[in-house]
Amino acid sequence: MSSRTRLAALASLSVLALVGLAGCGDETDPTSADSTPTKAADPADDGGGGATPDEPSSDGAGTTTVPVYFIGDTPQGPRLYREFRKVESDNPAVEALALMTAGDALDPDYDTLFPSGSFASVDIGDDKITVGLPDESWTQPQDGMSDDEARLATQQAVYTLQGIAQKRLPLAFTLDGKPADLFGLAGEPSNDPEIDVRALVNVTTPEEGATANGTFKASGVSSSFEATTPWEIRKGGADGEVVAKGFATADGWMDKLYPWETEVDVSDLPAGDYTFVAMTDDPSEGEGGGPTVDTKSITIQ
User: Where are the domains positioned within the chain?
Assistant: 3-197, 201-300
Residue 166 gets the label, from left (phi > 0), alpha (psi -120 to 50) or beta, of left
| pLDDT bucket at 56, cuts 50 / 70 / 90 | very low
User: What number of CA atoms fall less than 13 Å from residue 157's CA on the CB side?
Assistant: 32
Closest C-alpha to 142, from 130, 153, 131: 153
Query: Is residue 116's pLDDT more than 80?
Result: yes
| pLDDT bucket at 57, cuts 50 / 70 / 90 | low
Q: What is the DSSP string of 59-115?
A: EETTEEEEEEEEEE--TTSSEEEEEEEEEETTSHHHHHHHHHHHT--SSTT-B-SS-
pLDDT digits (tens, 9 = 90+) for 184-193: 999 999 999 9
Q: How far apart are CA 247 and CA 103, in angstroms?
A: 30
Query: Is residue 228's pLDDT more than 50?
Result: yes
| pLDDT bucket at 286, cuts 50 / 70 / 90 | low
Query: Is residue 35's pLDDT more than 70?
Result: no
Q: How far apart are CA 244 and CA 77, in angstroms?
A: 28
Q: How far apart are CA 161 and CA 99, in angstroms?
A: 12
First to last CA, the chain: 30
Q: How far apart are CA 9 and CA 12, in angstroms?
A: 7
Query: Is residue 131's pLDDT more than 50?
Result: yes
Query: Is residue 23's pLDDT more than 70?
Result: no
CB atoms within 10 A of CB 76: 17
pLDDT of residue 285: 72
Asked if residue 251 lies in contact with residue 48, where contact means CB atoms within 8 angstroms, the answer is no
CATH class of 201-300: mainly beta
Asked if residue 247 lies in contact with residue 293, where contact means CB atoms within 8 angstroms, the answer is no
Average pLDDT, rounded, for the chain: 84
Query: What is the pLDDT averaged over residues 114-122?
Result: 96
Q: How far apart are CA 240 and CA 50, in angstroms?
A: 42
Q: How far apart are CA 294 and CA 278, in angstroms?
A: 5
pLDDT of residue 7: 33
Query: What is the pLDDT averaged over residues 271-283?
Result: 96
